[in-house]
């Protein structure tokens, strides 16, 4: 129904006689309108896309019935910040981290609890554990390598590693896991050298080998001290 812009409705009441649906939820829309001209009312109705119907009665006077036509909105969840590729890389890093740690423990166990057993001697002469650790390290290094890796490592103008760049690089789980595998390989190699040197010179090496597992430089230092004290006595 068309309204003239100069026509004014003194008292207009809005009676909720309809419902509107938004994603399956029924709600009632009620908005009392008093002393509002039709031009303003028309702008508001046009804004919500409603249908108008005028009704008149002796008891209630004139009233405007509004039937809103609100489109149904479908809420789409935002994509998770964790990408599938990142999650897969995180799982790979965690799995390789655990696998490498478990793989070296039997060799340390043999060197500490059975240093003179033939099984221990044959195990420590094998190069298989270093091949396995080397392959794991190369795989993680491949996954964590980016075009900016060298730039991050050698950020100094003298092409020397700097601590902030190394800290930034190790903020990645993949890079951190590769560094852990790197340490496991180097520590096991150092422990084997200490073990063989102890067998050759008949020196106690169990304490030094144990320290090589987590504190390799200290394990080497204790072996040097133990060897010096043994020769002096």
Give yes or no for a contact between 133 and 185, defined as CB atoms under 8 angstroms apart. Answer: yes
From 36, 40, 26, 33, select the one nearest 68 (Cα to Cα): 26
Task: Check whether 106 has a pLDDT greater than 60.
Answer: yes
* pLDDT, the chain, mean: 75
The reply to whether 150 and 108 lie within a common domain is: yes
Mean predicted confidence (pLDDT) in 152-181: 86
Instruction: Let me know if residue 76 belongs to a domain.
Output: no
Lowest mean pLDDT among 22-36, 89-103, 143-157, 194-208: 22-36
pLDDT for residue 126: 93
The reply to whether 167 and 105 lie within a common domain is: yes
The reply to whether 104 and 195 lie within a common domain is: yes
Domain count, the chain: 2
- Helix then strand count (H, E) for the chain reads 9, 6
From 36, 44, 43, 27, select the one nearest 62 (Cα to Cα): 36
Structural domain span for residue 41: 8-68
The reply to whether 24 and 124 lie within a common domain is: no
Instruction: Let me know if residue 78 belongs to a domain.
Output: no
Instruction: Let me know if residue 12 belongs to a domain.
Output: yes
pLDDT for residue 120: 96
pLDDT higher at 142 or 76: 142
pLDDT for residue 132: 94
Task: Check whether 225 has a pLDDT greater than 90.
Answer: yes
Instruction: Let me know if residue 213 belongs to a domain.
Output: yes
Residue 109 tokens read as 């166990």
Instruction: Let me know if residue 46 belongs to a domain.
Output: yes
pLDDT for residue 51: 53
The reply to whether 143 and 203 lie within a common domain is: yes
The reply to whether 55 and 110 lie within a common domain is: no
- Please give the model's pTM, rounded to 2 decimal places: 0.61
The reply to whether 145 and 31 lie within a common domain is: no
pLDDT for residue 73: 45
**Residue 156 binned pLDDT confidence (cut-offs 50, 70, 90):** confident
């Amino acid at each position: 129904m068309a309204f003239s812009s100069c026509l004014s409705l003194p008292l207009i009441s809005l009676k909720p006689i309809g419902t509107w649906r938004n994603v399956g939820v029924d709600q009632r829309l009620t908005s009392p309108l008093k002393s509002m001209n039709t031009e303003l009312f028309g702008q508001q109705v046009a804004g919500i896309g409603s249908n108008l119907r005028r009704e008149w009665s002796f008891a209630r006077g004139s009233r405007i019935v509004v039937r809103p036509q609100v489109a149904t909105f479908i809420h789409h969840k935002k994509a998770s910040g964790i990408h599938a590729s990142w999650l897969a890389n995180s799982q790979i890093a965690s799995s390789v981290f655990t696998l490498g740690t478990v793989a070296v423990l039997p060799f340390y166990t043999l060197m500490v609890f059975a240093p003179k057993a033939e099984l221990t001697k044959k195990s420590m002469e094998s190069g298989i554990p270093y091949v396995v650790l080397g392959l794991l390290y190369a795989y993680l290094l491949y996954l964590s390598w980016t075009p900016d890796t060298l730039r991050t490592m050698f950020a100094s103008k003298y092409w020397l590693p700097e601590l902030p760049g190394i800290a930034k690089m190790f903020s990645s789980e993949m890079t951190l896991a590769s560094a852990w595998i790197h340490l496991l390989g180097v520590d096991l190699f150092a422990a084997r050298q200490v073990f063989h040197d102890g067998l050759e010179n008949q020196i106690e090496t169990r304490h030094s080998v144990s320290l090589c597992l987590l504190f390799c430089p200290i394990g080497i230092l204790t072996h040097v001290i133990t060897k010096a004290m043994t020769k002096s006595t």
